[in-house]
Amino acid sequence: MLSIFLFLVCATGLGWGVSLVFFSFEGKGGFVNSHFRFGFLLFLLSETFFFFSFFWRFFHCELVPRVEFGGVFPPFGIFRVVSFGVPFLNTVVLLSSGVAVTLAHKEVLEKGSPFFSLFFTFLLGCLFLFFQFKEYRGCGFSFSDRVFGRVFYILTGFHGFHVFLGSFFLLLCSVFSGFITSFSHVFFQCSV
């Protein structure tokens, strides 16, 4: 089921990007692009509240640990992930990808070809996912380890899924970089 779901998400993203390119060639780009931007802003707002709710749960458990957990968070027997290991490396990778995609956006606005910057950003996204998988393999707890395990895996898993989708969309942008112009690059903006 997961592979079918991922295929459908990727196919929908591809269709969305292709339709944006065709609408811009037909001269309908301004009207359609403004609606896509507004829809994407609503999507970002919903994602903000989604992540906020899970962070709220985590910090609530951290600041007010329940008696059922022994009055400490994380509960006894669960050890936190070391912050200066793989998570720090993943932070550096994500910041580097942010620099690379900003360079790609600058190239688009200056009417250059963003292919290499976008492809490099895609590779950094893949590197992030590799390190996240490595981090999951080294965790001493699982999803079934009460609230701490559930919140950790839901937050990092959905973040990894966002990085996967963003990397896929940026790969599509790099493949179709010849169609990205300084006037029509909504799909690129939404992929970032």
Give the model's pLDDT for residue 127. Answer: 95
Instruction: Tell me if the domain spanning 2-191 has CATH number 3.30.230.10.
Output: no
Of the pLDDT bands very low, low, confident and very high (cuts 50, 70, 90), residue 136 is confident
Give the model's pLDDT for residue 176. Answer: 73
> pTM score > 0.85 for this model?
no
Buried (b) or exposed (e) across 83-117, using 16+ Cβ within 10 A?
eeebeeebeebeeebeebbebbbebbeeeeebbeb
DSSP output for 1-51: -HHHHHHHHHHHHHHHHHHHHHHHHTT-HHHHHHHHHHHHHHHHHHHHHHH
**What is the tens place of the pLDDT at every residue in 88-130?**
998 999 999 989 988 888 888 887 778 888 889 999 999 999 9
Q: What sign does the dihedral 132-136-137-139 (CA atoms) show? A: positive
